[in-house]
Chain A
Amino acid sequence: MSLYGAGGGLVVKVGHWSRCMGRGGGVVVSMAQETPPARGCKLPRSGSRSRSRGRREGKSRSVRSNLLAGGAKAGEPPGRLHASNRLKTTKYTLLSFLPKNLFEQFHRFANVYFVFIALLNFVPIVGAFQPELALTPVVFILAVTALKDLWEDYRRYRSDQEINHMDCLVYCRDEKKYVEKYWKEVQVGDFVRLRCNEIIPADILLLYSSDPDGLCHIETANLDGETNLKQRQVIKGFTELETEFDPMKFNSVIECEKPHNDLNRFRGYIVYKNEKRAGLSKDNLLLRGCTIRNTEEVVGIVIYAGHETKAMLNNNGPRYKRSKLERQMNVDVFWCVIILFVMCLFSAIGHGLWVAQYGDQRPVFDVLGSDGTSLSPALSGLYLFFTMIIVLQVLIPISLYVSIEIIKICQVFFIHQDTDLYDEETDSRLQCRALNITEDLGQIQYIFSDKTGTLTENKMVFRRCTVAGVEYSHDANAKRLAMYQEPDSEDEECTSKSGAIPRCDSTSSHQSAKIVHRTQSTKSHRRTGSRAEAKRASILSKHTAFSSPMEKDITPDPQLLEKVNECAGQLEALRQHGQPLSHLTPELSDIIDFFIALTVCNTVVVSSPNQPRHKVRVRFELKSPVKTLEDFIKRFTPSRLTSGSNSSSSSSISTSKSLYRVSSSAIPSPSGEVTLLKMGEELGRSPQRDKSENFFQPGMVRDNGKDGELRYEAESPDEAALVYAARAYNCALVERLPEQVTVELPHVGKLTFELLHILGFDSTRKRMSVVVRHPLTDEIVVYTKGADSVIMDLLQQPSTENSTSKRTRKIRNKTQNYLNQYATDGLRTLCIAKRVLRKEEYARWLENHLEAESSVESRDELLFQSAVRLETDLQLLGATGIEDRLQDGVPETIANLRKAALQIWVLTGDKQETAINIAYSCKLLGHDEEILTLNAESQEACTALLEQCLNYIKSKSPQNKRFSVAENPSVDFIPSNGTSVTSPTLRPNFSLVIDGKTLSFALEKTLEDKFLALAQSCRSVLCCRSTPLQKSMVVKLVRDKLKVMTLAIGDGANDVSMIQVADVGVGISGQEGMQAVMASDFAIARFRHLQKLLLVHGHWCYSRLANMVLYFFYKNAMFVALLFWYQFFCGFSGSAMIDQWYLIFFNLLFSSIPQLITGILDKDVSAETLVALPQLYKSGQHSEEYKPYMFWMNMIDALYQSLICFFFSYWAYQDSDVDVFTWGTPITTLALFTILMHLCIETKTWTWMHVVSITFSILLFFTVALSYNAICPTCYPPSNPYWTMQRLMADPKFYLICILTPVAALLPRYLYRIFQGTLFPTPIQRGRQLDRLHPVACSHVNKWNAQGNWSATPKPDLVMPLSKDSGIGADESSSSTSQNVTLDTNQISNGPLNKQQTPELRETSLPTMELAGGAKYSLPNGNSSSVSIRNAQSHLHELQRSELATDLPFTEGGVRLNAHSGVDPSNIHLLNWRTPTPSTNDTMCFFHSSSHCSLQTQTVRGERCVPGNIEPEGMKLSKEVFPGTSHISTHVIPRNSLQESSLEMTPL
């Protein structure tokens, strides 16, 4: 109970933390919930401060206790030298805000430009407007930005305050005890006492822990999101303290690195008074922001404080990238500048000429300059140039940047709000960490994906293993997994689909989805597991990492279980009889070693859910792993003298460990060599001793067994999987302490292994090892587990030809075979090996190792070498196959992304076979593809290979069809399904598989072009065994060389570099912590979210922004051109017929809101269609919404429209007595109307917000104009427009011209749009045509519903513009132009709704539906009359099938067909489905034609959604929905043709 109590506390605390850290410290978690922060929460202050301090400090930092500082100068402790713990993330102070903020804003070129122009107005000779007025827009925009910054800064200030005023206990010298202090008062060198569940206020070196082993557990979720507990250790030399740590006595000096942001690195040493040194590592450091767990009390000395803590150094805030669209836009802004320049120059020259034509005789209207003299034509031309810049300044859109920012913020908001991107299991939404590259999502061309954790769940499930050359297939386990698989996928299917229902009424369908969930779990018991389990697992995962029930409950293989039991029995028997273990048969001994290795060789932390891990034990002097040579000798040299007394004194202590420990404690006079030799003898006797000590163990075991469930917290899911697997065989890891591991074996009971070393896993070695002392044999054993390729190379080479070596070789070969098999099955393989060390060997190694450990400079390298020395001559025990299941929806997502012409590369560290297999299962590789595998050992070989492949591909291209594979021995072609003979018209698909080594060659400068050429001609590329660096190199190469938009997606730390390099980095917040997320621009919970993120949101963001930008350019150009034309009629004098108020506020007020609304809300194609037709994504990839020529087209259109607007008014008012502003105001009005109507044409989807915004704009204009023209009769010189608008509005001419001109101006564009949409519709426009059906269908639904009559509603045939030449999927199209694909498009949009029709069918007992086309659709349920709800089950099935079949044509066939031109066009008539004599067979054959996967999910979906509708709401909904779906199955085709085409479509 106490844990849960504490847990509750934790939650509160954590919540508090993340809240109060806000932007400051909630490094990961809270970022996305923030409103978009300003650029640069980079803590510029702290940065500069630490830099300057760094110079003072030199290379390292030395920390002393503050308590020692002479005592006198309390105000100036040595800690002052370093940053204090006060957090200041604010950028401004009250005083500095204005100058600093302005300074920052003027970093933007645009702002400088606008201010320059505004200031230009103050120069009288060029001033065009009232200077004050000209300043307003700039000031307005600056003020808005400043206010935003101020608000953000204030929030930062608040959160800083909150954090700074948190309490902690700091040792006070004067009071000689710990006193409460604010966090901000903590200084470097202070001693801080922390209690359980407290948040660590600074980076603290652990000096004391209440834990008897000097341990401290921390949770780093605030830092990296990992929820598992991490152990930290008291530094060496302080563990031995008998009494409570007294800070006053601390007189050592700590030398450590300067602050840096690497969370996983901390190096330094502590120098004791006696000049002794001890190394410090990250294991001794408590990081700010983490939480103390499971430890009552710790004391430490502050090493880094405040901004120098690692947590703060890691907090870089959101990233700012520049999107492709923006880059393109900037080019066009540049063009605008040039256009502006040209216009101004033209005007200047024109003015010069105009002035010159009058010669010396100045006309009365050419007013003298300010000095009273007339200017020369050239000079007045020059002045005019600047005047014109002011007048035409609007061409460079002042509000464009602001608008873009607003739009992006809203886009981020909408992406963030999408329920489809919400993952229920982890309760996480999508996070947008980069705020300004949303539109890049719509332009991605290459996706680089990690495999593990990205495509797969990273939920490692133990599947099978091989021990000593014998395979244990774990069939039962496989079945169990299948059980999980099924309901899960079904669940997903239903939720995802229901999320994507095109709603007429969103709430009702939402309800129905909920109902569906609930009823599903109550109804079918078989599946109760799924959702509930998932939910429980998600709750659990907050406490324990990686332990969903699926991973935990492993069904043991009976054969192996029996062997284990037998083995354990024998072991026990042997021990009972005092016989050495070598009496075990090699196989059994291997088995037991195998399981011990599984249990021991890891870093899993054990905890029991029911009790906190507060160990209450007597402290012993020997705790830590062997750290010194003396220590080693001491430990391994038993002394009878001491042991006797000690054992007697401690016999009352019940743990075996303690007894053992004591008995092997130190002896006074060790002399290296001798003792080492003696040791063997001594150790020989130890089993005996162990046995006796273990005698009273079983009772405890049972105790423990009752509350049973120990929780394992592992750093990687593989480890947890293995430990759980071992537990399934009753080899349970019971306890792990830094220096010992307790394992519980069947029969034998608890065994405690003394843990001498852990050589942790790293990606270079690809293995980890533990060195333990075996309690039964007292041997020193190295257990190693690692990647098979590595381990296999390290195995002992059998030197002699005896039976043992034969056996070894046999085991090795067999294991290798099984490994290959596992890999083919897509399992992750790990090899388990051991090595028994002789004492001398160990001693020698230890010496080296200790040296390595204590070295400060090249420590890492030395440790690596040391590990390599240890991990040789291994003896293979066995291998495991761990399944990493594909995430839900991955194949579908990949298939869809593929259809969107996205190149998907998978970069994985996994082995080739596994990777290929996963690639197959996630449909990355198809069976119709040829796989080119590149495995080269040298640069030359790689070159040759690449060339061969290129040639091969060339030869395979349509010109020369035939090619013999056999000629190419080194190129490993895997022809699958005999598809090497492809149809001559089709270009064969290639896929490239390359391994890490070859990749490193291929990435060389000389080869990269060839590699790229090859990769480009392949459909997919799979890079196996690649290192993080290689991943990023590949991404970089592709990005830079091919000039494409890249997206990298990954979940682990190894993907970080790749994510950072790519144009868009996506992190999956999955099992492996948050590092990837922290580096990413977008963080999603599941791979399948990528589909909606890219296809829907990406597309929308891109098309919205592209259209908005284009429109912006158009708008400004059109408006400015009006002024330019006027120059021809005013002597190029820079005068404007448009009142300066209108001129300045036109952009800011009158025309800005509609365009923002459109930019935020416009949908060119609905989400459903975008997902259903991924081909539409291509428009973004090819930048079709915003191509360079479009800018010019828009400019030309703007020119034309402005000409119309100008000259229509010109001619209409020609020869009249109109004055400047009475003439200019209608022009303004016209321009506004034209611009708004232009927007109307460009707006694809209208909602009430669009209408309101446009109405508002027009009303605003008239309101402003009317009031502005009425307020003051003498103000606003020079226009002084008093009563102008009022007078105009009484003039019919004004209205006449306002009607005519916009029509004339927009006619060409409108016509173009219409003809283009009719004759040459783009795929997007076709998509919209599909979309249009959706609202229609909805209204039909409502209509029919009202009539209550749906039985005989004919549905008109819908002619779908999806013919093969239509451009959708046009790349593969070949011939047949006029072929229509008849599709019921309702199925696209209404697909998900269809499933709800079933109960309706039953209730109303609709046996027959007359449908358009004369086809008669009889329900295939045989008895066509009524089907009652009560006996519905069997009929239900059939109904669902039939309904599914009607469902399928679009989802499976409609799109797919377009991609397969091999199908005879006549069969495309297709997808239609005639049931003259309806039978289930019909539908079934259809199922077979579609892919297996979809069959399953569809069926399942149908089934499980049905019961929900029994509920009243469901009924209601389905009533609404049903009529719309009743006309689904109206199409008639011969059955056999359907089969034929479908089979062609998906070769199974």
Chain B
Amino acid sequence: MSPGTGWETAPEMPGSSREEDGAASKNKPDNTAFTQQRLPAWQPFLSAGYVLPAFFLLGLIFIAIGLGLYFTSNNIIEFELDYTGNSPNSSCHHCTRNNTTNCKCTIHFKVDKVLPGPVFMYYKLSNFYQNHRKYGVSRDDDQLNGDLDYLKVPSEYCFPFRLDSQGRPIAPCGAIADSLFNDSFVVYKINSSGVSKVSLNGKGISWWSDYNVKFNNPKSDNGTLEQTFQGTVKPNNWPRPAYELATNPENNGFINEDFIVWMRTAALPTFRKLYRRIDDGMQPGNYSVEISYNYPVLSFNGQKRITFSTISWMGGRNAFLGIAYLVCGSACIVTGIVMFIVYIKYQGQHVFKEE
């Protein structure tokens, strides 16, 4: 470089050298924690020494929860009555024969302990695949919401339960509605003095949101529910049209709570659905249930049961959660102990110790 050019002297001057820094290194990457991947970080370290306390703590908490759940669940009284009638000595056996209509049968049962109210009465079906894909989609929510258009022109999803053979729309359409469970039960308490009907409360057995929002009866400007349903036909399997499901107008048509409960398709092939509530609870004693046996289940090896259950804050009786918590908690403790042994044994060797 020739002496006397600007370059020679420039670096000697402190000021200019810094300027040059800026000019010459315009490609220099930003030195930030992010771009240099130096963000403040925490490294969880999977070593026995660190996780031991966590394990013991978790284990203890789980065991505590588990115990609570277990006893809660155990306090729930629940019993089932099978009335399928597939065994000849069952009282409902006669109803399983073909072409019997309006068959009634009675099952007797005994309650040993006081069931505090409310006692929930369920009907339970087995091997009924309400979760079958094509079955599950076979409904029209718009129709059920009371949309008049859909009442007359149901959605394609309802096929093949959309129109009847004459091309009239079915209301409610779809396979789910068509296969509505139609057994009914009456519970009697058998006292020494006689037989008294136990009052069954069917109100509020469905979801509030279903009853009040999702399901609505179609409303025309004038006329009754029946008139509004004019032009539609009842589902094939139904004995009565929708507007005659119940006498109570609050529980009729699409907002019939039994219907709403049924329309909420069960997750598993064995399911129960809430039938009624016994708000006063059940005293010990003998009871009987009179069943109107209408619903055929034997063709698909189904079973029908009636379940009575008290409930707790965590729902019905289910020992599983409690046990699962207990098992998991114990597993945590056990592994904690194992780890502790390992830790004692190996700490000098591999584990980095820190005070």
Interface residue B90 (Cβ < 8 Å from any Cβ of A): no
Interface segment among A295-303, A691-699, A1278-1286: the answer is A1278-1286
With CB as the reference atom, state the residue of chain A lying closest to B69. Answer: A1296
Interface residues of A in 755-794 (CB under 8 A from B): none
Task: Decide if A1133 touches B133 in the complex (CB within 8 Å).
Answer: yes
Interface segment among B99-107, B111-119, B218-226, B321-329: the answer is B321-329
User: Measured between alpha carbons, how far is A414 from B269 in the docked complex, in Å?
Assistant: 53
**Given contacts A1274-B142, A1315-B342, A1296 and B314 within 8 Å (CB-CB):** yes
Q: Pick the residue among A521, A1137, A1163 that contacts B267 (CB under 8 A).
A: A1137
**Given contacts A609-B5, A1273-B214, A1314-B47, A1335 and B29 within 8 Å (CB-CB):** no
**Contact pattern, A 1227-1257, Cβ under 8 Å of B = 1, otherwise 0:** 0000000000000110111111100000000
Task: Decide if A1246 touches B42 in the complex (CB within 8 Å).
Answer: yes
Q: Pick the residue among B39, B129, B272 that contacts A363 (CB under 8 A).
A: B129
Instruction: Tell me which residues across on chain B come within 8 A of A1313, comparing CB atoms.
Output: 46
Task: Decide if A549 touches B160 in the complex (CB within 8 Å).
Answer: no
User: Measured between alpha carbons, how far is A1214 from B318 in the docked complex, in Å?
Assistant: 8
Interface residue A263 (Cβ < 8 Å from any Cβ of B): no
Q: Pick the residue among A422, A1244, A1304, A1378 that contacts B324 (CB under 8 A).
A: A1304
Task: Decide if B1 touches A540 in the complex (CB within 8 Å).
Answer: yes
Interface residue B249 (Cβ < 8 Å from any Cβ of A): no
Interface residue A707 (Cβ < 8 Å from any Cβ of B): yes
User: Measured between alpha carbons, how far is A1217 from B277 in the docked complex, in Å?
Assistant: 14
- Give how many B residues have a beta carbon under 8 Å from the other chain's beta carbons: 117
Task: Decide if B41 touches A1163 in the complex (CB within 8 Å).
Answer: yes
Interface residue B128 (Cβ < 8 Å from any Cβ of A): yes
**Given contacts A1163-B37, A1356-B355, A1135 and B175 within 8 Å (CB-CB):** no
Task: Decide if A1135 touches B43 in the complex (CB within 8 Å).
Answer: no
Instruction: Tell me which residues across on chain A come within 8 A of B44, comparing CB atoms.
Output: 1240, 1243-1244, 1246
With CB as the reference atom, state the residue of chain B lying closest to A710. Answer: B2
User: Measured between alpha carbons, how far is A1223 from B33 in the docked complex, in Å?
Assistant: 45
Instruction: Tell me which residues across on chain A come within 8 A of B62, comparing CB atoms.
Output: 1300, 1303
Q: What is the CB-to-nearest-CB distance from A808 to chain B, in angstroms, rounded to a whole number?
A: 41
Interface residue A1321 (Cβ < 8 Å from any Cβ of B): yes
Task: Decide if B43 touches A1317 in the complex (CB within 8 Å).
Answer: no
Task: Decide if B175 touches A367 in the complex (CB within 8 Å).
Answer: yes
**Contact pattern, B 318-355, Cβ under 8 Å of A = 1, otherwise 0:** 10110011001001100100010011001011111111
Interface residue B139 (Cβ < 8 Å from any Cβ of A): yes
Instruction: Tell me which residues across on chain A come within 8 A of B352, comparing CB atoms.
Output: 1329, 1332-1333, 1358-1361
Task: Decide if B36 touches A1129 in the complex (CB within 8 Å).
Answer: no
User: Measured between alpha carbons, how far is A358 from B298 in the docked complex, in Å?
Assistant: 11
Between B46, B48, B209, the greatest number of chain A beta carbons within 10 A of the residue's beta carbon is seen for: B46
- Give how many A residues have a beta carbon under 8 Å from the other chain's beta carbons: 121
With CB as the reference atom, state the residue of chain B lying closest to A1331. Answer: B43
**Contact pattern, B 3-32, Cβ under 8 Å of A = 1, otherwise 0:** 101011011101001101000111111111
With CB as the reference atom, state the residue of chain A lying closest to B313. Answer: A1292
**Given contacts A414-B35, A1246-B44, A1247-B41, A1133 and B134 within 8 Å (CB-CB):** yes
Instruction: Tell me which residues across on chain A come within 8 A of B47, comparing CB atoms.
Output: 1314, 1317-1318, 1329
With CB as the reference atom, state the residue of chain B lying closest to A1208. Answer: B324
Interface residue B188 (Cβ < 8 Å from any Cβ of A): no
Q: What is the CB-to-nearest-CB distance from B55 to chain A, in angstroms, rounded to a whole number?
A: 9
Q: What is the CB-to-nearest-CB distance from A1530 to chain B, in angstroms, rounded to a whole number?
A: 14
Q: Pick the residue among B14, B33, B147, B346 that contacts A522 (CB under 8 A).
A: B14
With CB as the reference atom, state the residue of chain B lying closest to A364. Answer: B179
Task: Decide if B315 touches A1278 in the complex (CB within 8 Å).
Answer: no
Interface residue B110 (Cβ < 8 Å from any Cβ of A): no
Interface segment among A217-225, A424-432, A433-441, A651-659: the answer is A424-432
Task: Decide if B271 touches A1217 in the complex (CB within 8 Å).
Answer: yes
Q: What is the CB-to-nearest-CB distance from A1324 to chain B, in angstroms, rounded to a whole number?
A: 12
Task: Decide if A1283 touches B209 in the complex (CB within 8 Å).
Answer: yes
Task: Decide if A1130 touches B314 in the complex (CB within 8 Å).
Answer: no
Interface residue B241 (Cβ < 8 Å from any Cβ of A): no
Interface residue B130 (Cβ < 8 Å from any Cβ of A): yes
Instruction: Tell me which residues across on chain A come within 8 A of B343, comparing CB atoms.
Output: 1318
Q: Pick the residue among B17, B266, B350 that contacts A1321 (CB under 8 A).
A: B350
Task: Decide if B8 touches A536 in the complex (CB within 8 Å).
Answer: yes
Instruction: Tell me which residues across on chain A come within 8 A of B213, comparing CB atoms.
Output: 1273, 1282-1283
Instruction: Tell me which residues across on chain B come within 8 A of A429, comparing CB atoms.
Output: 27-29
**Given contacts A419-B36, A422-B27, A1277 and B328 within 8 Å (CB-CB):** no
Interface residue A1328 (Cβ < 8 Å from any Cβ of B): yes
Task: Decide if A1247 touches B40 in the complex (CB within 8 Å).
Answer: yes
Task: Decide if B2 touches A1314 in the complex (CB within 8 Å).
Answer: no
Task: Decide if A417 touches B35 in the complex (CB within 8 Å).
Answer: yes
User: Measured between alpha carbons, how far is A366 from B39 in the docked complex, in Å?
Assistant: 58
Interface residue A625 (Cβ < 8 Å from any Cβ of B): no
With CB as the reference atom, state the residue of chain B lying closest to A32. Answer: B27
**Given contacts A506-B31, A1245-B42, A1296-B69, A1219 and B266 within 8 Å (CB-CB):** yes
Task: Decide if B269 touches A1131 in the complex (CB within 8 Å).
Answer: yes
User: Measured between alpha carbons, how far is A522 from B159 in the docked complex, in Å?
Assistant: 90
Interface residue A99 (Cβ < 8 Å from any Cβ of B): no
User: Measured between alpha carbons, how far is A1292 from B321 in the docked complex, in Å?
Assistant: 12
Task: Decide if A506 touches B313 in the complex (CB within 8 Å).
Answer: no
Interface residue A977 (Cβ < 8 Å from any Cβ of B): no
Interface residue B202 (Cβ < 8 Å from any Cβ of A): no
Interface residues of A in 524-557 (CB under 8 A from B): 531-532, 535-536, 538-540, 549, 552
User: Measured between alpha carbons, how far is A1300 from B65 in the docked complex, in Å?
Assistant: 10
Task: Decide if B331 touches A1332 in the complex (CB within 8 Å).
Answer: no
Interface residue A964 (Cβ < 8 Å from any Cβ of B): no
Task: Decide if B58 touches A1303 in the complex (CB within 8 Å).
Answer: yes
User: Measured between alpha carbons, how far is A521 from B353 in the docked complex, in Å?
Assistant: 44
Task: Decide if B28 touches A427 in the complex (CB within 8 Å).
Answer: yes
Interface residue B232 (Cβ < 8 Å from any Cβ of A): no
Q: Pick the residue among A364, A419, A531, A1129 that contacts B28 (CB under 8 A).
A: A419
Task: Decide if A535 touches B33 in the complex (CB within 8 Å).
Answer: no
Task: Decide if B267 touches A1213 in the complex (CB within 8 Å).
Answer: yes
Q: Pick the residue among A1220, A1287, A1361 that contacts B136 (CB under 8 A).
A: A1220
Instruction: Tell me which residues across on chain A come within 8 A of B65, comparing CB atoms.
Output: 1296
Task: Decide if A532 touches B12 in the complex (CB within 8 Å).
Answer: yes
Task: Decide if A1215 touches B132 in the complex (CB within 8 Å).
Answer: no
Between B157, B237, B349, the greatest number of chain A beta carbons within 10 A of the residue's beta carbon is seen for: B349
**Contact pattern, A 1174-1196, Cβ under 8 Å of B = 1, otherwise 0:** 00000000000000000000000
Interface residue A361 (Cβ < 8 Å from any Cβ of B): yes
Q: Pick the residue among B129, B179, B321 that contacts A1300 (CB under 8 A).
A: B321
With CB as the reference atom, state the residue of chain B lying closest to A1301. Answer: B324
**Contact pattern, B 273-308, Cβ under 8 Å of A = 1, otherwise 0:** 110000000000000000000000001101000000
Task: Decide if A1300 touches B33 in the complex (CB within 8 Å).
Answer: no
Task: Decide if A707 touches B328 in the complex (CB within 8 Å).
Answer: no
Task: Decide if B157 touches A1277 in the complex (CB within 8 Å).
Answer: yes
User: Measured between alpha carbons, how far is A1248 from B40 in the docked complex, in Å?
Assistant: 8
Interface residue B108 (Cβ < 8 Å from any Cβ of A): no
User: Measured between alpha carbons, how far is A1291 from B304 in the docked complex, in Å?
Assistant: 28
With CB as the reference atom, state the residue of chain B lying closest to A1213. Answer: B267
Interface residues of B in 200-219 (CB under 8 A from A): 207, 209-210, 213-214
User: Measured between alpha carbons, how far is A1216 from B25 in the docked complex, in Å?
Assistant: 70
User: Measured between alpha carbons, how far is A1512 from B30 in the docked complex, in Å?
Assistant: 24
Q: Pick the residue among B175, B272, B354 that contacts A365 (CB under 8 A).
A: B175
Interface residue B258 (Cβ < 8 Å from any Cβ of A): no
Instruction: Tell me which residues across on chain A come within 8 A of B271, comparing CB atoms.
Output: 1216-1218
With CB as the reference atom, state the residue of chain B lying closest to A1311. Answer: B335
Q: What is the CB-to-nearest-CB distance from A1089 to chain B, in angstroms, rounded to a whole number?
A: 13
Closest 3 CB pairs of A and B: A709-B2, A1135-B133, A532-B11
* 12 A-B pairs whose Cβ atoms sit less than 8 Å apart in the complex: A709-B1, A1135-B136, A1216-B271, A1217-B122, A1219-B266, A1273-B214, A1278-B157, A1297-B321, A1328-B43, A1332-B45, A1359-B351, A1360-B352
Instruction: Please give 12 more A-B residue pairs, beta carbons under 8 A apart, in addition to A609-B5, A1280-B214, A1328-B45.
Output: A417-B35, A422-B29, A531-B11, A536-B1, A536-B10, A1129-B131, A1129-B267, A1167-B37, A1296-B65, A1296-B69, A1318-B342, A1336-B354
